Amino acid sequence: MVRSGTLILNVAARLLLPLQLMFSLFLLLRGHDEPGGGFIAGLVAAGGFALYLFAYGRRALGAMIKVSPRDLVGVGLLLGVASTLPAWWHGQPFFTAQWWTLPVIDFKASTPLIFDIGVYLVVLGSVLTAITALVKTDQADDER
Interacting residues with another protein (CB under 8 A): 1, 31-40, 43-44, 46-47, 50, 69-70, 73-74, 76-77, 80-81, 84, 91, 93-95, 97, 99, 108, 110, 112-113, 115-116, 118-119, 122-123, 125-127, 129-131, 133-138, 140-141, 144
Nearer to another protein, 13 or 135 (CB): 135
Phi, psi angles (nearest 5°) of residue 3? -120, 160
Q: Where are the alpha helices (DSSP H) in the chain?
A: 7-30, 38-56, 58-65, 69-82, 86-89, 111-143
**Which of 10, 87 has the CB closer to another protein?**
87
Q: Which of 10/39 has CB closer to another protein?
A: 39
Q: 24 and 37 in contact (C-beta within 8 Å)?
A: no
Cα 86 from Cα 90, distance rounded (Å): 7
Shortest spacing between CB 15 and another protein, in angstroms: 18
